[in-house]
């Protein structure tokens, strides 16, 4: 069994514009493929200026991936071609499996009392065997997400995965992912077990701390950490607490053909997808 994971690479998210003009920070994306396999993209949208986000993400297609939206603050209205619709609120998760094809929109809701909008969208790739599976949508409220405290001064919200027999609400995902929201108070040290062979990343959203056993790399807000292989990670803090998203999954080790909102294995499959979209035959279900 491999030991404690060392840090392979650390980098900061960078500003970009997506959707109809949403200003956000991209932790990783197309240029990092296949470094974070099976994960493709992680966006951090975080602003208290409505002009930065109010244009939202109007109707657009997806195929071949899963998109996971996690809201920390504010509200996002969702609708899709399966007939799902509703509002994603603070602490809620939208786990959408595009599969063979889905068209959806995500539009921020203007709030009179508090203009802060803060959330994340993660893209997870689907293997060739599941690229054309039936699409599905899972809307999960904050009340459905369990929180555990494996040791004093550590709190973990389990979106997907299992800790000490407590399972997150999202299950039966083909890449065997884990998605955790971890808070470690100041002056705390603990280790967390990880599965050998899986890609493990962390994205710091508040505070700062060490995610390596030798305490050589103090990581702060908007830092993305990619770990080497191993069976556990070490987390420790000094005067400040740290909060981070801890995400892991089984690498697919397959070719990636990616353009815009569609990710397939070959460029021929991409051409078919966009031709079907133009012809109106994109949606299979």
As for how many domains the chain has, the answer is 2
**Residue 104: inside a domain, yes or no?**
yes
**Residue 218: inside a domain, yes or no?**
yes
**Residue 275: inside a domain, yes or no?**
no
Average pLDDT for residues 251-278, to the nearest whole number? 98
**Per-residue confidence at 109, pLDDT binned at 50, 70, 90?**
confident
Judgement on whether residues 155 and 248 belong to the same structural domain of the protein:
yes
Question: Nearest-CA neighbor of 235 among 166, 122, 145, 150?
Answer: 150
**Residue 242: inside a domain, yes or no?**
yes
Judgement on whether residues 17 and 41 belong to the same structural domain of the protein:
yes
The pLDDT score that the predictor gives to residue 245 is 98
pLDDT tens, position by position, 195-241: 999 999 999 999 999 999 999 889 999 999 999 999 999 999 999 99
**Residue 159: inside a domain, yes or no?**
yes
Share of the chain above pLDDT 90, in %: 95
Q: What is the largest CA-CA distance in the chain?
A: 59
The pLDDT score that the predictor gives to residue 112 is 72
> At a CB cut-off of 8 Å and minimum separation 6, what does 284 contact?
100, 101, 132, 134
> At a CB cut-off of 8 Å and minimum separation 6, what does 5 contact?
194, 200, 227, 228, 229, 230, 231, 232, 233
CATH number (domain holding residue 187): 2.60.120.10
Q: Given a cut of 90, is residue 111 above it in pLDDT?
A: no
Q: Which three-class secondary structure state does DSSP give residue 56?
A: coil
**CB-CB contact of 11 with 223 (8 Å):** yes
Distance CA 43, CA 24 (A): 7
Judgement on whether residues 40 and 67 belong to the same structural domain of the protein:
yes
Judgement on whether residues 86 and 172 belong to the same structural domain of the protein:
no
pLDDT tens, position by position, 117-171: 999 999 999 999 999 999 999 999 999 999 999 999 999 999 999 999 999 999 9
Q: Given a cut of 80, is residue 12 above it in pLDDT?
A: yes
The residue among 144, 174, 201 that closes a domain is: 144
The pLDDT score that the predictor gives to residue 1 is 57
For 178, the domain range is 146-254
The pLDDT score that the predictor gives to residue 2 is 79
Question: Nearest-CA neighbor of 186 among 239, 123, 122?
Answer: 239
């Amino acid at each position: 069994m491999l030991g404690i994971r060392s840090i392979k690479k650390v980098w900061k998210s960078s500003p970009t514009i997506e959707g109809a003009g949403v200003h956000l920070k991209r932790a990783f994306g197309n240029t990092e493929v296949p470094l974070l396999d099976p994960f493709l993209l992680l966006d951090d949208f975080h602003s208290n200026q409505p002009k930065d986000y109010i244009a939202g993400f109007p109707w657009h297609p997806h195929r071949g991936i899963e998109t996971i939206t996690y809201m920390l603050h504010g509200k996002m209205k969702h609708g899709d071609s399966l007939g799902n619709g509703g509002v994603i609120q603070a602490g809620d998760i939208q786990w959408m499996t595009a599969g063979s094809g889905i068209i959806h929109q995500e539009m921020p809701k203007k709030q009179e009392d508090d203009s802060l909008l803060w959330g994340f969208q993660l893209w997870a790739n689907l293997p060739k065997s599941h690229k054309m599976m039936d699409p599905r949508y899972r809307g999960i409220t904050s009340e459905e997400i369990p929180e555990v405290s494996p040791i004093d001064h550590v709190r973990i919200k389990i979106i997907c995965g299992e800790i000490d027999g407590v399972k997150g609400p999202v299950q039966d995902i083909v890449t065997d992912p884990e998605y955790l929201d971890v808070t470690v108070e100041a002056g705390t040290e603990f280790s967390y077990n990880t599965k050998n062979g899986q890609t493990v990343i962390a994205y710091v959203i508040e505070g700062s701390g060490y995610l390596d056993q030798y305490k050589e790399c103090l990581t702060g807000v908007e830092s993305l950490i990619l770990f080497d292989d191993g069976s556990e990670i070490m987390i420790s803090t000094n005067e400040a607490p740290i909060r981070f998203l801890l995400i892991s999954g089984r690498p697919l080790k397959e070719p990636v053909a990616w353009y815009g909102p569609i990710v397939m294995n070959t460029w021929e499959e991409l051409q078919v997808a966009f031709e079907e979209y133009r012809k109106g035959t994109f949606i299979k279900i």
